[in-house]
Chain A
Amino acid sequence: MYRCYFIPNQCKDLFEAATFKTLVFENHGEKVELEVPELTPEMVSHVIETIKNQQQNYLRTLKTNDVIEVMDQAVQKWLNPQYELRQLAEQMLPVITGYDKEMVRLYISRYFRQFRKEKLQRMIDEDFPNPLILDEFRPRKSGGLYRAYGPELITHIFSGNVPALPLWSLTAGVLLKSATFGKVSSSEPLFSVLFAKTLREIDPQLAETIAIVSWKGGEVDLEKLSFSQSNAVIAYGGKEAIDQIKEKVPSHVSFHAHGHKVSFGMLTKECLAATKVWRTAKLAAHDVSWFDQQGCLSPHVFFVERGGKYGPREFAEMLANEMENFQSIHPRAALSEEEQHAIVSQRSSLEFESFESKTMNLIKSDGNTVWTVVYRELKTNNREELFPFSPLNRFITVIPVDNILEIKQYIRGIVGYIQSVGVGCSPQRLTSIISMLGDAGVNRICAVGSMPHPQPGWHHDGRFHLADLVRFCDVESSLEDQMDEFDPYRD
Chain B
Amino acid sequence: MALKVFQFQYEHNQPFRKFCRKRRVSPRKVKHYTEIPPVPIDAFKLTTLSCHPIEEAKALFMTSGTTNPEKRGKNYHRDLEIYDLSMKTHFKSHIIPDMDKMKMFVLFPTEEEMPNSSLAHYLHIAINTFGTEDSQYAFSKEGFEIDSFIEELQKQQEPILLIGATFSFIHLLDECKERGIRFNLPTHSRIMDTGGSKGRSREMTPEVFRQEMSELFSIPPELCVNMYGMTELSSQIYDRNLLDFYKDHPISTRKQTPHWVKTVIMDLEKMEEKAPGEKGIIVHYDLANINSVMAILTEDMGVQEEDGFYLLGRAKGAEAKGCSLAVEQFIASSKNSEGES
Residues in chain A within 8 A of chain B (CB atoms): 159, 161, 187, 237-240, 260-263, 293-296, 298, 300, 334-342, 344-345, 348-349, 351-353, 355-356, 367-369, 386, 389, 391-393, 413-414, 417, 419
Contact = CB atoms under 8 A, between A and B. Distances in A.
B321 A161 contact: yes
A393 B321 CA distance: 10
A369 B270 CA distance: 9
Contacts of B46: 349, 352-353
A297 to B, nearest CB: 9
Nearest to B43: A352
Contact of B42 (A239, A295, A340, A348): A348
Give me the 9 closest cross-chain CB pairs, A-B, nearest first.
A338-B318, A392-B322, A389-B328, A340-B268, A238-B326, A341-B315, A348-B40, A260-B326, A262-B324
Contacts of A339: 318, 320-321
B260 interface: no
B92 interface: no
Interface stretch (B15-23, B161-169, B241-249): B15-23
Nearest to A355: B18
Contacts of A417: 327, 331
A344 B268 contact: yes
Contact of A352 (B47, B319, B323): B47
A391 B201 CA distance: 29
21 contacts: A161-B321, A161-B322, A238-B326, A260-B326, A260-B327, A263-B324, A337-B279, A337-B301, A338-B301, A339-B320, A339-B321, A341-B268, A341-B316, A344-B40, A344-B268, A348-B297, A349-B43, A349-B46, A386-B332, A389-B327, A392-B320
Nearest to A392: B322
Given A239-B330, A414-B331, A417-B331, A296 B43 contact: no
Nearest to A338: B318
Contacts of B281: 337, 340-341
Contact of B325 (A240, A391, A413, A414): A391
Interface residues of B, number: 37
Contacts of A344: 40, 268, 297
Nearest to A187: B321
B323 A161 contact: yes
Nearest to A333: B321
Given A337-B279, A341-B281, A349-B42, 13 more contacts: A237-B323, A260-B327, A262-B324, A338-B316, A345-B40, A345-B297, A349-B46, A351-B19, A352-B19, A352-B42, A352-B46, A414-B331, A417-B327
B322 to A, nearest CB: 4
A159 B280 contact: no
B327 A337 contact: no
Contacts of B268: 337, 340-341, 344, 369
A96 B189 CA distance: 52
Contacts of B324: 260-263, 296, 298, 300, 389, 392, 419
A353 B328 CA distance: 21
Contacts of A369: 268-269
Interface string B247-271: 0000000000000000000001111
A336 B318 CA distance: 10
Contacts of A419: 324
A302 to B, nearest CB: 15
Q: Give the interface centre of A263, A348, A392 by most chain B CB atoms within 10 Å.
A: A348
B84 interface: no
B299 interface: yes
B36 interface: no
Interface of B: 15, 18-19, 22, 39-40, 42-43, 46-47, 268-271, 279-281, 297, 299, 301, 315-316, 318-328, 330-332, 335
Contacts of A296: 323-324
A340 B281 CA distance: 10
A334 B321 CA distance: 12
Most buried by A among B271, B328, B331: B328
Nearest to A368: B269
B301 A351 contact: no
B283 to A, nearest CB: 11
Nearest to A417: B327
Given A294-B321, A295-B323, A348-B39, A386 B301 contact: no
Contacts of A391: 320, 325
Contacts of A352: 15, 19, 42-43, 46-47
A335 B19 contact: no
Contacts of B332: 386
A262 B270 contact: no
Contact of A338 (B271, B315, B326, B330): B315
Most-contacted residue by chain A among B322, B326, B328 (CB, 10 A): B322
A368 B322 CA distance: 20
Contacts of B321: 161, 187, 294, 339, 392
A414 B280 contact: no
A301 to B, nearest CB: 11
A389 B316 CA distance: 15
Contacts of A261: 323-324, 327
A345 B282 CA distance: 13
A389 B328 CA distance: 7
A81 B35 CA distance: 48
Nearest to A162: B323
A438 B316 CA distance: 35
Contacts of B297: 344-345, 348
A392 B331 CA distance: 17
A393 B322 CA distance: 8
B315 A367 contact: no
A389 to B, nearest CB: 4
Nearest to A418: B327
Contacts of B335: 386, 413
A393 B328 CA distance: 15
B266 to A, nearest CB: 9
B315 A337 contact: yes
Of B39, B268, B319, B321, the most chain A CB neighbours within 10 A belong to: B321
For A295, A341, A349, A389, the residue with the greatest tally of chain B CB atoms inside 10 Å of its CB is: A341
